[in-house]
């Protein structure tokens, strides 16, 4: 699997930035994970969007879904132009609530909604995907994702507070993609459904993950500050998200 950061910022994109969106490519399939503000413009640097096979959505907060409307328009036009078959809507796998968000995911022949929950196991080409509900939000579900292909494991942590039970789901993942929404100086006193950079590092270390990618960062953070606060993670390589960063799990040693 090759993993590419298309967007990583939150809650809104900085100049030339993008909020969460990630591309996973194998020999057989191309998966988009989340589709935040500015993600489509970045995706076009790597592939024509009509070649996407699947969109996986963690939850419906704006920073993760802002570009879905224009993705639907784009696919509709590519179908009109004959670049994508009209009978091949893009499957969007996403949580079943809130209902008004679910409704918006099926659009003409362009996209089609399929529900996910913790019992869902998807096989998409040579990738299997399972889901874990995270401690996030105001009652509506948010799902982390575990992607496995050819013996390699990527866990995308989505948005998550400290109450998520990662043990069985993320233990020993080759790549753990974990949010680091806060630096120490702006971490709220009470948990509010997010983690700090330090939390992410401690988590990845305790789960013995082969590598860590810290994401969901405020666009004004300095990379050096993020790296400095990730010192608890010592098991392997620590990446800090930036647009265009690629991690190749076929060559990386776990
Ligand atoms: Zn969220
Ligand atoms: Zn978010």
Residue 54 pLDDT greater than 70, yes or no: yes
Provide the percentage of residues in the chain whose pLDDT is more than 90.
96
Distance 101 CA to ligand 1 centre (A): 14
Q: Distance of CA 7 to CAs 33, 55, 64, 217, 243, Å?
A: 10, 15, 10, 10, 6
Q: In the Cβ-directed half-sphere of 47, how many Cα atoms lie within 13 Å?
A: 16
Q: Distance of CA 6 to CAs 19, 70, 127, 238, Å?
A: 8, 16, 20, 18
The answer to whether 175 and 194 are in contact (CB under 8 A) is no
Centre a 10 Å sphere on the Cβ of residue 102 and count the other Cβ atoms it contains.
16
Nearest ligand to the CA of 136 is 1
* Distance (Å, whole) CA 1 – CA 63: 25
Q: Which domains does the chain have, with CATH numbers?
A: 2-248 (3.60.15.10)
pLDDT at position 254 is 41
Mean pLDDT of 27-52: 98
pLDDT at position 138 is 84
Report residue 148 as tokens: 């496995």
pLDDT at position 244 is 98
pLDDT at position 251 is 64
Report residue 86 as tokens: 């009209």
Distance 70 CA to ligand 2 centre (A): 19
Centre a 10 Å sphere on the Cβ of residue 150 and count the other Cβ atoms it contains.
11
Q: Distance of CA 225 to CAs 43, 168, 230, 238, Å?
A: 28, 30, 9, 13
Number of DSSP helices (H) and strands (E) in the chain, helices first:
7, 14
Q: What is the pLDDT of residues 155-200, one digit of tens each?
A: 999 999 999 999 999 999 999 999 999 999 999 999 899 999 999 9
Report residue 133 as tokens: 């509900």
Classified as helix, coil or strand, 12 is coil
Distance 85 CA to ligand 2 centre (A): 32
Residue 112 pLDDT greater than 90, yes or no: yes
Distance 197 CA to ligand 2 centre (A): 14
Nearest ligand to the CA of 161 is 1
- Find the DSSP H helices in 5-128: 39-43, 62-65, 68-80, 99-103
Mean pLDDT of 69-91: 98
* Distance (Å, whole) CA 218 – CA 41: 20
- Average pLDDT of the chain, as a whole number: 96
Distance 130 CA to ligand 1 centre (A): 19
Distance 231 CA to ligand 1 centre (A): 25
pLDDT at position 27 is 95
Q: What is the pLDDT of residues 209-254, one digit of tens each?
A: 999 999 999 999 999 999 999 999 999 999 999 999 999 998 654 4
């Amino acid at each position: 699997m090759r993993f590419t950061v298309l967007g990583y910022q939150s809650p809104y994109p900085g100049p030339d930035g993008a909020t969460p969106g990630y591309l996973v490519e194998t020999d057989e399939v191309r998966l988009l994970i989340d589709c935040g503000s500015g993600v489509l413009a970045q995706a076009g640097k790597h592939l024509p969007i009509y070649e996407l096979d699947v969109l996986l959505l963690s939850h419906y907060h704006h920073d993760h879904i802002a570009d879905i409307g224009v993705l639907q328009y784009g696919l509709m036009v590519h179908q009109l132009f004959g670049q994508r078959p009209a009978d091949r809507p893009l499957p969007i796998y996403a949580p079943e609530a809130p209902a008004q968000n679910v409704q918006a995911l099926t659009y003409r022949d362009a996209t089609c909604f399929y529900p996910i929950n913790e019992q869902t196991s998807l096989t998409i080409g040579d990738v299997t995907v399972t889901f874990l509900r995270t401690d996030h939000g105001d009652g509506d579900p948010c799902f982390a994702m575990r992607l496995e292909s050819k013996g390699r494991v990527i866990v995308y942590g989505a948005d998550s507070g400290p109450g998520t039970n990662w043990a069985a789901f993320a233990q020993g993942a080759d790549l753990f993609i974990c949010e680091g929404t806060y630096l120490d100086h702006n971490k709220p006193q009470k948990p509010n459904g997010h983690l700090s950079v330090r939390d992410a590092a401690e988590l990845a270390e305790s789960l013995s993950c082969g590598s860590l990618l810290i994401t969901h960062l405020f666009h004004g953070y300095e990379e050096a500050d993020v790296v400095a606060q990730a010192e608890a993670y010592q098991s392997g390589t620590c990446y800090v998200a930036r647009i265009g960063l690629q991690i190749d799990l076929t060559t990386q040693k776990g």
